[in-house]
């Protein structure tokens, strides 16, 4: 149960119910918290954290982009995440790191640069029964009327809470229209990403995805591309027009909980074979990697011994 979980909070471990900040804190009132969500996988040897070092590196990049100072070093983050997993005795699930300004603030600027940090670990199947973390064979998507923010308005590569209002309203629109996911375009009209997913297309055996600049530098997206290169799949990273969604042989999304997640319908177009052969191939490879059965990518897995 979620109430039994233990949370790392600013140097101490506390009960889940005690992991709180004031409702007038700057990061709640101004959405200035940054975060990382990381997957934890059971393997025959011991639990493994997926690409922990890359997630911590991106956390520091997000902090830099909003002028936040983190209270821990990279190595201290590794140790605290590992200890939080160990104390919760979880072998498979999700880890969330949140760095935030806890001080009460009425001004738009935070009272100080130094943040607080909390680390949460949960097994969604046991702890969050109302959350939809079940893997479905395929889902539908639409093209959202909402666009991704222009990179000259906010730092789109910062994983900061404020940026996720954009994804929230686009998914609300999709659900109201009867779709599970909303694919957003950038302000120039090219395919960008979903609210919490990267978008991949396959056409004539070539894997295609949007270039960085208007999207988050997703670690799962990066993993899919590196896995594709490993097995010799041709890839194209660039500006993709939305018309390609109606010509693609395969479409899939990627995110932390679901490394490869096929789409079987885009707007009113049904995709005949879902998942397609290339989607299946990449999904099987990513599963093999997270299960610790692919030595080439063993450096992606951080052990909780």
Q: Tell me the pLDDT tens digit for each residue of 267-281.
A: 999 998 899 999 999
Q: Tell me the pLDDT tens digit for each residue of 214-233.
A: 999 999 999 999 999 999 99
Q: In b/e form, how buried is each residue of 243-272, taking b as 16+ CB within 10 angstroms?
A: eebeebbbbbbbbbbbbbbbbbbbeeeebe
Q: Tell me the pLDDT tens digit for each residue of 105-150.
A: 999 999 999 999 999 999 998 888 766 555 667 899 999 999 999 9
% pLDDT > 90, the chain: 93
The token duo for 67 is 């002028």
| Superfamily of structural domain 139-290 | D-amino Acid Aminotransferase, subunit A, domain 2 (3.20.10.10)
Domain ranges in the chain? 2-127, 139-290
Contact status, residue 166 vs residue 150, Cβ threshold 8 Å: no
58/219 Cα distance (integer angstroms): 9
- The residues, ordered by sequence, that sit 6+ positions from 44 with a Cβ below 8 Å of its Cβ are 292
Q: Tell me the pLDDT tens digit for each residue of 169-216.
A: 999 999 999 999 999 999 999 999 999 999 999 999 999 999 999 999
| pTM, entire model | 0.95
CA angle in degrees (0–180, nearest 5) for 163-245-190: 45
- Side-chain-side CA neighbours of 249 within 13 Å: the count stands at 12
Contact status, residue 130 vs residue 106, Cβ threshold 8 Å: no
Residue 164, pLDDT > 90, answer: yes
CATH number of 2-127: 3.30.470.10
Distance from CA of residue 38 to its chain's centroid?
A: 7
Q: What is the pLDDT of residue 128?
A: 83
């Amino acid at each position: 149960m979620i109430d039994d979980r233990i949370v790392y909070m600013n140097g101490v471990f506390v009960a889940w119910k005690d992991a709180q900040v004031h409702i007038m804190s700057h990061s709640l009132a101004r959405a200035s918290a940054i975060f990382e969500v990381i997957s934890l996988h059971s393997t025959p040897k011991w639990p493994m954290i997926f690409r922990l070092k890359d997630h911590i590196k991106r956390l520091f990049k997000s902090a830099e982009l909003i002028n936040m100072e983190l209270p821990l070093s990279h190595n201290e983050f590794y140790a605290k995440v590992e200890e939080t997993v160990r104390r919760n005795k979880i072998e498979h699930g999700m880890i969330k790191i949140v760095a935030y300004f806890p001080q009460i603030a009425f001004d738009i600027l935070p009272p100080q640069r130094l943040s607080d940090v909390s680390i949460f670990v949960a097994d969604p199947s046991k702890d969050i029964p109302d959350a939809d973390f079940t893997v479905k064979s395929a889902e539908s998507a639409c093209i959202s009327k909402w666009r991704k923010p222009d990179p000259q308005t906010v730092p789109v590569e910062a994983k900061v809470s404020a940026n996720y209002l954009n994804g929230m309203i686009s998914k609300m629109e999709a659900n109201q229209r009867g779709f599970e996911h909303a694919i957003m375009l950038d302000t120039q009209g090219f395919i960008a990403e979903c609210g919490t997913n990267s978008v991949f297309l396959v056409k004539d055996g070539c894997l295609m995805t949007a270039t960085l600049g208007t999207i988050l530098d997703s670690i799962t997206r990066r993993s899919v591309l590196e896995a594709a290169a490993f097995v010799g799949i041709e890839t194209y990273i660039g500006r993709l027009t939305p018309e390609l969604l109606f010509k693609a042989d395969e479409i899939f999304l990627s995110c932390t909980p679901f490394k490869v997640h096929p789409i079987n319908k885009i707007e009113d177009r049904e995709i005949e074979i879902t998942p397609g052969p290339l989607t299946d191939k990449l999904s099987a490879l990513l599963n093999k990697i997270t299960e610790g059965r692919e030595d080439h990518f063993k450096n992606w897995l951080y052990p909780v011994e």
